[in-house]
């Protein structure tokens, strides 16, 4: 395997001093993730100091380290290891000549990133680099950049934020050729005055656009004009995606098929593209339009992209489905446990309307966090989509869900508990064969552990 970085190039990029010659195959800052041949960045944080784990990193096979004090292993000595990580990210971006894509949004970032990755890999196998997991913050983005092979034809970088100014810093590192905003919604609302402020913060992604860059915005968003104006300030070419008339990439016709799939006709400027999708919910179709918009912007093959979209059956924590044995039959679990905000909660619950009418619909929901003074109202508002989706039983986890419990009183069967680890026992009592169980909540609630435990009972396979 070709080396990702040579010690000489690393030292030059980070303005450091190499203790020896070495080459590395990958970059990491968590010693537990180190594999043979990796470069370990010893980052110093408020609660942990990576220098305490240098020995552990080399025991796991590290080839070199970036440190702020000498160690008895091959290393690059720098004044500030975090700044060095950003410097290496900048060097990585400069040496790459592929198409770089930046993605942000209140909802759908990771699902869209993963879908786009699969679409681009159809046309450029092993030449698509992308952010792993949800590495979308001030450490994850430079790490993802530093990991990008020089010969990558496409680079896809997810960028997140919960305060104004964060995206500005990240996008200036990434310098995307194409910048996509998936949607604007009240995620991290506690840190912003209102949704307009969230939209303005998300629009910071356009600040890093390369010369002649393309901005892709959600056409149906009430903040479309604001986002357009922000992109115009950077002299970007503006394209849009969505369902409404006038979108550059538009889902013009949607036909729901008997097997649960949907047949989508997408209008793409001067052509139409018809393809089938397993993920039939409206937010997945919107994500698909965003993916096609990006593929079109980078000059990719739209037909191959649509085939990739048709094969997607969800991602872990984001729509993946599996069977678990219940009684003499089985139930379906829909894993949306990764995270939650008012928009994603409503969209995911709404998707239950497309499920077979002869199946009971059971929902396990965890608190939506960081919503500020309007938290109770946002939680109460979930009563309407639950009612429209004809949900039979709701199991709520967390203190914030007390507002929804009150709203549902006398309308839908409901139980509320304080901690996720109590949920499985209740589910054992509630679930019956042929039920559909949806699981969704903010990460810190721990609902992913409930899903993991359930998956061990069944095949844990996508369907």
Q: What is the DSSP string of 343-373?
A: HHHHHHHHHGGGS-TTS-EEEEEEPPPS-GG
φ and ψ at 253, to 5 degrees?
-150, 135
Pair type for strands 214-218 and 237-242: parallel
Quick one: angle between helices 109-123 and 282-297, nearest 10?
50
Taking alpha carbons only, the member of 73, 69, 90, 80 closest to residue 39 is 73
SS3 382: coil
pTM of the model: 0.90
Tell me, what's the pLDDT at 260?
86
Provide the pLDDT for residue 185: 86
Helices 224-233 and 195-202 cross at an angle (nearest 10°) of 30
Structure tokens at 318: 């984001």
The domain spans of the chain are 5-80, 96-311, 320-455
96-311 has which CATH code? 3.40.1190.10
Is 300 annotated to bind a ligand? Reply is: no
- How many other CB atoms are found less than 10 A from the CB of residue 421? 13
Establish whether 127 is an annotated binding residue: no
Residues 359-404 pLDDT 10s: 999 999 999 998 989 999 999 999 999 999 999 999 999 999 999 9
Per-residue model confidence (pLDDT) at position 269: 84
pLDDT under 70 in the chain at which residues?
1, 189, 458-463
Residue 110 annotated as binding? yes
Residue 131 assigned to a binding site: no
Q: CATH for 5-80?
A: 3.40.1390.10
Q: Is 2 annotated as a binding residue?
A: no
Predicted local distance difference test score (pLDDT) of residue 458: 60
187 DSSP assignment? T
**Contact in structure between 421 and 446 (CB atoms under 8 Å):** yes
Phi-psi region for residue 153, left (φ > 0), alpha (ψ -120 to 50) or beta? alpha
What is the rounded radius of gyration, in angstroms, for the C-alpha atoms of the chain? 23
Q: What would the two tokens of residue 356 be?
A: 């077979």
> Tokens standing for 124?
């450029």
| CATH topology agreement for domains 5-80 and 96-311 | no
pLDDT of residue 259: 84
Q: Longest Cα pair distance anywhere in the chain, in angstroms?
A: 71
Q: Please state the separation of Cα 350 from the chain's center in Å.
A: 20
Q: Which residues pair with residue 23 across a beta bridge?
A: 6
| Alpha carbon distance 395, 446 (integer Å) | 14
Euclidean distance between CA atoms 9 and 198, whole angstroms: 39
Cα–Cα distance, 296 to 250 (Å, whole number): 13
Contact 345, 365 (CB under 8 A): yes
Measured CA distances, 225 to 229, 267, 377, 436 (Å): 6, 22, 27, 39
- Compute the C-alpha angle 198/204/210, nearest 5°: 155
pLDDT at 326: 93
DSSP string, 103-127: EE-SS-HHHHHHHHHHHHHHHSTT-
Contact 195, 186 (CB under 8 A): yes
Q: Is 211 annotated as a binding residue?
A: no
Token pair listed for 117: 């990755």
In 3-state terms, what secondary structure has residue 258? Answer: coil
Does 171 belong to an annotated binding site?
no
Backbone angles phi, psi at 325, to 5 degrees: -70, 135
Q: Which residue is listed with tokens 């698909």?
A: 288
Sheet holding 320-326, edge to edge: 320-326, 329-336, 436-440, 361-366, 393-397, 413-417
Q: Which tokens is 304 given?
A: 């191959």
Per CATH, which fold does 320-455 belong to? 3.90.190
Q: What is the DSSP letter of 61?
A: T
* Residue 193 token pair: 């005055």
């Amino acid at each position: 395997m070709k080396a990702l970085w040579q010690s000489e190039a690393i030292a030059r990029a980070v303005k450091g001093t190499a203790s020896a010659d070495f080459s590395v195959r990958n970059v990491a800052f968590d010693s537990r993730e180190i594999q043979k041949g990796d470069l370990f960045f010893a980052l110093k944080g408020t609660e942990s100091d990576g220098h305490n784990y240098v020995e552990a990193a080399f025991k796991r096979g590290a080839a070199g380290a970036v440190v702020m004090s000498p160690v008895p292993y091959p290393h690059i000595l720098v004044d500030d290891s975090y700044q060095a990580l950003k410097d290496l990210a900048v060097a990585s971006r400069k040496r790459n000549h592929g198409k770089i894509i930046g993605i942000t949004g209140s909802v759908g970032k990771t699902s869209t990133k993963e879908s786009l990755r699969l679409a681009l890999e159809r046309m450029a196998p092993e030449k698509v680099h992308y952010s792993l997991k949800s590495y979308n913050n001030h450490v994850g983005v430079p790490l993802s950049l530093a990991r990008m092979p020089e010969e990558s034809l496409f680079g896809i970088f997810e960028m997140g934020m919960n305060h104004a100014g964060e995206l500005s810093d990240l996008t200036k590192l990434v310098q995307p050729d194409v910048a996509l905003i998936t949607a604007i919604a009240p995620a991290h609302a506690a840190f912003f005055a209102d949704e307009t402020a969230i939209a303005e913060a998300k629009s910071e992604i356009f600040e890093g656009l390369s010369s002649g860059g393309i901005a892709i915005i959600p056409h149906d968003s009430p903040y479309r004009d604001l986002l357009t104006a922000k992109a115009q300030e950077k002299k970007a070419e503006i394209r849009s995606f969505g369902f409404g008339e006038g979108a550059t990439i538009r889902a013009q016709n949607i036909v729901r098929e008997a097997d649960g799939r949907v047949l989508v006709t997408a209008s793409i400027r001067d052509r139409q593209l018809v393809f089938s999708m397993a993920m039939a919910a409206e937010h997945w179709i919107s994500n698909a339009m965003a993916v096609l918009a990006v593929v079109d912007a980078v000059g990719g093959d739209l037909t191959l992209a649509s085939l990739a979209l048709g094969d997607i059956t969800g991602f872990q924590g984001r729509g993946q489905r599996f069977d678990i044995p219940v009684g003499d039959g089985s139930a379906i679990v829909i894993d949306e446990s990764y995270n939650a905000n008012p928009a994603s909660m409503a969209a995911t619950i709404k998707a239950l309307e497309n499920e077979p009418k002869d199946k009971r619909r059971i929902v396990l929901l965890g608190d939506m966090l960081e919503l500020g003074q309007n938290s109770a109202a946002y939680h109460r508002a979930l009563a309407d989509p639950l009612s429209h989706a004809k949900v039979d039983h709701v199991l709520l986890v967390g203190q914030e869900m007390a507002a929804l419990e009150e709203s549902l009183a006398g309308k839908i069967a409901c139980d509320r508990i304080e901690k996720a680890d109590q949920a499985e026992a209740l589910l054992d009592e509630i679930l019956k064969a042929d039920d559909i169980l949806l699981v969704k909540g903010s990460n810190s609630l721990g609902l992913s552990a409930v899903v993991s435990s359930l998956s061990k009972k069944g095949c844990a396979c996508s369907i």
